[in-house]
Structure 1
Amino acid sequence: MKKLFLTLSCSALVLITYAQQTYSLAGKIRGEKANGQTVSLWADNEQKKIGSAVIKNNSFQIKGAIHDPELVRITIAPTENSDKKLWKASHFYLDKGNVQLSGHIDSLPSYYYNPNLPNQKPIIEGSRAQSLADQLNRSITDQKQVLSKLDKAYMQEYHLPAIDGKFNTDRGIAILEKMAPYKKTVFEKKWAFITNNPTARVALDEASYMVMGYGEESLSKIQMDELLQIFEPSWHGKKTFIDLQTAITKAKATAIGSNILDGPILDKEGNKVQLTSVFPKDKKYILLEFWASWCGPCRGEIPHLRHTYATWKDKGFDIVSISLDEKETDWKKAMAEENMVWHQYNAREGFNSKIAESYDIQGIPYALLIDSNGTIIKHGMRGASLDQALEELTR
């Protein structure tokens, strides 16, 4: 029996060994300040250090093993305890085999993004996964450049004036309408990349970003199921695919066409109520918005919400705001300061509250547009997107 157990254990060890693939990362970092600095390689969403080395003669080498290609972050620091403002950092796909990285210490991206500092990503060679990522990025470069310019115009002509109480609604909607075809093209190219590369980790990651709402368009439940069908044959049983399945299960709960999720919240008198019991029943469209007093972007959006509420409240529109403030005094102070006259509730446990976990809220502001039947009809309802949606729905 002991011999059998030993044989099985050795077999399992062999399988694990074969599952892993070795890599060798050879770096060339030019510049006088590079030598003596410590290079670290981080995986598992930057939670795990998988290797480190000290730059000598402007070179370093890190060797190890990975199960699959993975998006990693490399950091370069004078010392591990030095101010991170002095650090350099960049993401790239690490792959099996011999991978080369090169760059200049003075031009590499800083650890904290700073638009006033150089931001030249290192050159990566020998990584098939990174080559695929570069291929995808090149295919959408033109559209991304146009979207970047339009986004700056939106910020200057709509968002910043709105914070100061000037609402250039028509202009904001016009810019969003210009953005729409470019976003559609980017989405279509990403989707084609995913379907054409079902075995690639880059494609799997891109699908995950879409599911989590970081893409150009919100996914339908049908599209989410298509993603599972695309990746299941190559990734079944692997942690990355299981993570995608989990993310899709959560995303489906708030996908367009789903009904709003219930959960306990507190009213202004401190009474515990269920969301569905207090949700307006006599309105055509309701904005369900999660925010907090300490959230800068949330506070910056409130002047626009006041304006939109005043414009549309007599046309079948309402707002339900749920604060994730953990201190009642902070919540009530912000409500008074911002003159938030619509429905206000509080989830006292913040992101750990049942209602926030039900909606899988990872960041705020988080806003959904709901119809009179309690059905989710729009995601990402911020700024002129909300005005655009209301105008389209009430035509």
Structure 2
Amino acid sequence: MKKTKLLGVGITLILFMIQFTSYSQNTVLKGQLKGLSDGEVTLYYNNKSQSITDTVKAVDDHFEWKSNLDEPVRVSLNAGKEHFFFFAEPGQLTLVGIKDSLSTYNLKGSLMQEHEDLYRASTRNLMQEWDSLYKKIDSVSDEEKAVIERRRVEISQQFIVKAHEFIISYPTSPYSLYLINLENEYAVIKRLYAQIDPSAKNTSAGKSIALRLEKMSRRQIGSLLENFTQPDTAGNPVDFQQFKGQYVLVDFWASWCMPCRAENPNVVKAYQKFKDKGFTVLGISLDEKASNWKKAIKDDDLPWTQLSDLKGWKSDLVNRLGIEFIPSNVLVDPEGKIVATDLRGEMLEEQLKELFE
């Protein structure tokens, strides 16, 4: 289950709408939306690790939004029932549009938005075909649905190709960094980041990707899994070092993660089959409530050692290893080296067969 889901077929951000905060003003957006009259617009965005909601009153279709931004941010602007997304950044911006047709807006002053528009132009035909297929899939036969699904997979791959082409063509663009951050595979992120110009790498967004790569590198095949200590269900500290000498599946999960719970029977099956051959499982829960954690262990009949600091996604271990979704796991050999990652379904048992049979 993803903390933050990164999709190759589209650009999707979740903007948490929580609180209103006032800032000094280095970003000014002067807007005109025909039909807005003396209404208001609401803007939702994340800035400096905070979720912000700003509401601005309009006068005769005109409004002015001010904020303090260190770097480009994705903003959702809502006017009545209509809304659209755009990138704001430090400086003077102008927006012209129609209240009841916000998708036709014209924004000037945002290089990030200019580059997104370039990318979207390159994928417009793909998006139109995707939308067309989506609309017809519920009204066709099963055979036609299968054809549509195959085509949608092809389109998804073409979106990825277009994104990678943009990154290579615009190595100094902050939008290239944005596209890289939508990826979730270490090797892909590393390859694309190598194409980025040093000037972009030195920005806040560029440094963030470098840190992400550093964390992800710690759970790649061939890496030694660093030692860690967490409490077990009785509250006693357990050190990972004590499991050396055997193969260990370090399994990240949580009681609230339904894909994790669905995967547990496969892990139990593999554990029962290979536990006497030098294999064990070490569960690391991202739960925050001990009662929920312990109940899930009992309900799923998980016999191996279970650890949790009950800090959820704020767990030091989760942060150190760059865990971004669960279920997630690493298979560690007797010397502490990672030999496989994210084994699902029958993959775990097949991997263990190669090692023990």
**What TM-score comes out, normalization by structure 1 length?**
0.60
Q: Deviations over 1:204-251 (max 9, x none)?
A: 2222333xx2xxxx1229x5276156231x236433333333223222
Q: Which residue of 1 aligns with 2:56?
A: 53
Answer with 344-353 or 21-30: which moved more.
21-30
The answer as to whether partners of 1:45 and 1:72 remain within 8 angstroms in 2 is no
> Structure 1 residue 333: deviation in Å?
1.7
Residues 233-382 of structure 1: pairs in structure 2 closer than 5 A: 234-235=199-200, 237-278=202-243, 281-282=246-247, 286=249, 288-293=250-255, 295=256, 298-307=257-266, 309-310=268-269, 314=273, 319-361=281-323, 364-370=325-331, 372=333, 374-375=337-338, 377-379=340-342
Query: 1: distance between equivalents of 2:308 and 2:326?
Result: 14
| Structure 1 residue 230 corresponds to structure 2 residue 188 | no
Quick one: which amino acid aligns to residue 92 of structure 1? Answer: F
Q: Which residue of 2 aligns with 1:163?
A: none
Q: Which residue of 1 aligns with 2:171?
A: 198
> Structure 1 residue 255: deviation in Å?
3.5
Of the three residues 107, 110, 115, the one matched with 1:125 is 107
Q: Which residue of 2 aligns with 1:93?
A: 87
Query: 2: distance between equivalents of 1:343 and 1:138?
Result: 52
**1:312/1:268 CA distance change after superposition, 3 Å:** closer
| Structure 1 residue 28 corresponds to structure 2 residue 33 | yes
Query: 2: distance between equivalents of 1:125 and 1:43?
Result: 20
> Structure 1 residue 336: deviation in Å?
1.5
Query: 1: distance between equivalents of 2:151 and 2:241?
Result: 37
> Structure 1 residue 265: deviation in Å?
1.9
**What TM-score comes out, normalization by structure 2 length?**
0.66
**1:128/1:333 CA distance change after superposition, 3 Å:** same
Task: Tell me: higher relative CO, structure 1 or 2? Use CA pairs within 8 A at least 6 residues apart.
Answer: 2
Q: CA RMSD in A?
A: 4.5
Count residues in correspondence.
Answer: 309
**1:299/1:340 CA distance change after superposition, 3 Å:** farther
Point out where structure 2 has 5 or more consecutive residues left out of the alignment.
Answer: 1-24, 139-148
**1:226/1:129 CA distance change after superposition, 3 Å:** closer
Quick one: which amino acid aligns to residue 250 of structure 1? Answer: K
Quick one: which amino acid aligns to residue 94 of structure 1? Answer: A
> Structure 1 residue 72: deviation in Å?
3.0
- Percent identity over paired residues: 18
The answer as to whether partners of 1:39 and 1:55 remain within 8 angstroms in 2 is no
Query: 1: distance between equivalents of 2:320 and 2:68?
Result: 37
Point out where structure 1 has 5 or more consecutive residues left out of the alignment.
Answer: 1-19, 78-85, 109-120, 154-175
The answer as to whether partners of 1:26 and 1:59 remain within 8 angstroms in 2 is yes
Of the three residues 178, 181, 184, the one matched with 1:208 is 181
| Structure 1 residue 102 corresponds to structure 2 residue 67 | no
The answer as to whether partners of 2:30 and 2:62 remain within 8 angstroms in 1 is no
Matched residue of 2:197: which SS?
Answer: helix
Quick one: which amino acid aligns to residue 176 of structure 2? Answer: A
